[in-house]
Amino acid sequence: MKSKKRLSLYIHIPFCVQKCRYCDFFSAAASAQEKHQYTELLCREIRSWGRMLREKYSVYTIFIGGGTPTCLSAEQLQKIGAAIRESFDCDALTEFTTEANPGTVMPEHLTVWQQMGINRISLGLQSAQNRELQMLGRIHSYEEFLTTYQMIRQSGMDQINIDVMAVIPEQTLESYQDTLEKIVSLNPEHISSYSLIIEPGTVFGDWEKNGTLKHVDEDVDRQMYEWTGKYLQHMGYQRYEISNYCRDGMECRHNCVYWSGGEYLGLGVNASSYLTGYRFHVPVSQKTYRSYVDRICVLAEKESEGLKKAVQEMDELEFIDQRAQMEEFMFLGLRMMAGVSEQEFYQRFGISMMEVYGDIIKKYQNMDLLCRRDTGRVALTEKGIDVSNSILSDFLLN
């Protein structure tokens, strides 16, 4: 019997208690009725895709994100989990993550997570400084985060990620260092440290536009970045991707699927997918789920015509041809410290990596920004990581 292909699922929950000042994701506060209606729609979508994919795909990872998944009740999350298990082949599931925000996790969530088979929690802290949390528009304090963290840990969860943010307006090097030191003292298995990006249409974006946003000095930004890598390595965390660090063997497998070009299905409003060679997602107005409802109706109509037809009916559909696949293989794969495999490149595309990218690779080798290892992998050097954005953009083919 032919083995099934791997598939990762992303489930988007678009609800928050309140919108953070930096957030440009599709999320908003919602009534109990809206949450109930969305849960029902999401379960319908899960079942439709499951009927089309179950025989060909086996689910490898699941990630529930948002928004704030813990804005849903335990009963609603349980219903979503049951729909996934009933609809998809989950026999090979290795990692099941949910995001959670401090202050929204209830004891009943812990019970339901165990029943759903969730084995990894990603906690959105961002800062251990209450003043910085207020600046970001977060709803919790550091003390509330600690209560949530200990509650999750005491429930038996042995894979916890903590998200941290650098270059928050008015943040200092000392306050960022204090945040990271406090987090490490909790001994989480995984730490993600991201620099704040100001996006248009957010509160911070508006403040930047009118000149009232107080940016962190570029030199301080640089010091934060360099100190993070050195400190976390010293404390036993391996850097396996530009912004992600973990204890040995605790990488986020779901995110590695994105970076390595694996197939994934996004479920819920505004969730992106890469499936059967196509990328697609449903654009949704902040005030209506109309296009999402339309998508579910299309799925129901096209199920009998098969997966290919259903995918081709999706909105904002883009076919990822071989050239685009090669680009993504390089500029996403090089984000990981392990780099990209020359052998895998040849197996995927039928042409050697050096034939396509040899001039670029040699250019950055000569600058000590890229290296070709004896293992047959091309990777960024320590110097290359520091200027990765400019290097990665060079792998876009003209």
The ranges assigned to domains in the chain are 5-259, 343-393
pTM for the predicted model, two decimal places: 0.94
Angle separating helix axes 353-366 and 342-349, nearest 10 degrees: 150
| Contact between 196 and 163 (Cβ < 8 Å) | no
User: Where would I find the beta strands (DSSP E) of 218-365?
Assistant: 238-241, 244-246, 264-267, 272-275, 278-281, 318-319, 340-341
> Per-residue pLDDT for 28 more than 80?
no
> Per-residue pLDDT for 2 more than 90?
no
Q: Which amino acid is at 154?
A: Q
| Contact between 160 and 153 (Cβ < 8 Å) | yes
For residues 36 and 42, give the distance between their C-alpha atoms in angstroms, rounded to a whole number. 10
> Per-residue pLDDT for 165 more than 90?
yes
pLDDT digits (tens, 9 = 90+) for 41-86: 999 999 999 999 999 999 999 999 988 999 999 999 999 999 999 9
Torsion sign, CA atoms 359, 364, 370, 371: positive
Going by C-alpha positions, the residue among 243, 146, 145, 156 that lies closest to residue 191 is 243
pLDDT score for 25:
73
Residue 27 three-state SS: coil
> Per-residue pLDDT for 24 more than 90?
no
Going by C-alpha positions, the residue among 21, 60, 24, 64 that lies closest to residue 42 is 64
Q: Band of the pLDDT at 288, cuts 50, 70, 90?
A: low
What is the number of other CB atoms lying within 10 angstroms of the CB of residue 359? 9
> Per-residue pLDDT for 19 more than 90?
no
Residue 305 three-state SS: helix
* β-pair type (120-126, 190-195): unpaired
Encoded tokens for 109? 């969530």
Answer CATH for 5-259 from 3.20.20.70, 3.40.50.300, 3.40.640.10, 3.90.1200.10: 3.20.20.70
Give rounded-to-5 percent helix, strand, coil for the chain. 45, 20, 35
Question: Containing H/E element for 32?
Answer: helix 32-53
pLDDT digits (tens, 9 = 90+) for 235-256: 999 999 999 999 999 999 999 9
